[in-house]
Amino acid sequence: MRRVNHLATLSRAISGAAAHQRLVQGAAMMSTYAASNSQCIASRIAENFRISNPSVARGVTGTVFFSVAASSLAQEVQAKESPPVEKLMPKDVVLYQYEACPFCNKVKAFLDYYNIPYKVVEVNPISKKEIKWSDYKKVPILKVDGEQMVDSSDIVDKLFQRMHPDNSVPDSDEETKWRGWVDNHLVHVLSPNIYRSVSEALESFDYITTHGNFSFTERLVAKYAGATAMYFVSKKLKKRHNITDERAALYGAAETWVDALRGRQYLGGSKPNLADLAVFGVLRPIRYLKSGKDMVEHTHIGEWYSRMENAVGEPCRVKA
């Protein structure tokens, strides 16, 4: 991936109408989030958010909207990763997801960065009727040319290996370490922050219920009962992971990641690697919630995050 310094070069590096629109309007990107559970379906929270302890639910919600001026775009945009030869690219990709799920967003960050078009099926977290065909009852589920893939990290590894058959080991020891850090630490500090107060819980569930796959009745119940439930659940999660100050934990995680960069544009050096995409993916749903805004204001992660937004570029999601 090369750095683009002039508009003419940029327009050649990024193909399609979306690139032209970005040049005219500036870089614009929106990632939405949605889908979670409410008090009336508290028994499903642990499953939906992959919590081993049923009393603790792990959820990540948020909405992302980011734009920069066209003049800044010309200087700082990173071209997306050029896809491998066409015969190695997946032809039919369908993602079964919750928009709010951090693991689903990890997969989407990979697909977007590698310019892989994909359809999205938003799963109703109550009935899960959209994935009744599968023995696997969690998300994400990715169908690639008819093959079912599950677990976000395994999905990314399989796709990477499929697209780079000559590279059997996709990541270095450093990359592996930080990908594990995302799953084992970073995601655990998010829920106590986005549900830290009643107002923040309502902020999260307002967007969830607007964009999730809920019926009208489920939407009403989830917004208020769900926000209340997750407010109390987040306190248990906070205790479980020995978090004394939610924001301090979030800021600490952000600074830990910035320190890991050691002055590099990305952990991968001149272009993002799989660890960069994982961190970006799980942070993307919360970026423009109060917790995400506070994180950028009080830490040094903002510049890296902006570079990642430009590098990942427009979503490759297509209508089903």
The predicted-structure confidence for 207-259, as pLDDT tens digits, reads as follows 777 777 778 888 888 788 888 888 999 999 999 999 999 999 999 999 999 99
| Mean pLDDT (whole number) for 106-129 | 92
pTM confidence score:
0.72
Alpha carbon separation from 272 to 102, 127, 188, 264 (Å, rounded): 18, 37, 23, 10
pLDDT value for 239: 93
State percent of the chain over pLDDT 90.
53
* Res. 76 pLDDT band, cuts 50 70 90: very low
The predicted-structure confidence for 305-318, as pLDDT tens digits, reads as follows 999 999 999 999 99
Dihedral sign for Cα atoms in the order 212, 216, 217, 220: positive
CB 32 within 8 A of CB 284: no
pLDDT value for 84: 57
| Mean pLDDT (whole number) for 108-130 | 92
Q: What token pair was written down for 234?
A: 């987040």
Is the confidence at residue 152, as pLDDT, over 50?
yes
Angle of CA points 304, 15, 108, to nearest 5°: 50
Which range has the worst mean pLDDT, 8-17, 88-97, 156-165, 309-318? 8-17
Is the confidence at residue 192, as pLDDT, over 90?
yes
Active site members: 98, 101, 103-104
The predicted-structure confidence for 257-275, as pLDDT tens digits, reads as follows 999 999 999 999 999 999 9
pLDDT value for 164: 85
Which range has the worst mean pLDDT, 60-64, 114-118, 120-124, 287-291? 60-64
CB 51 within 8 A of CB 95: no
- What is the chain's mean pLDDT, rounded? 78
CA distance 54 to 167: 40
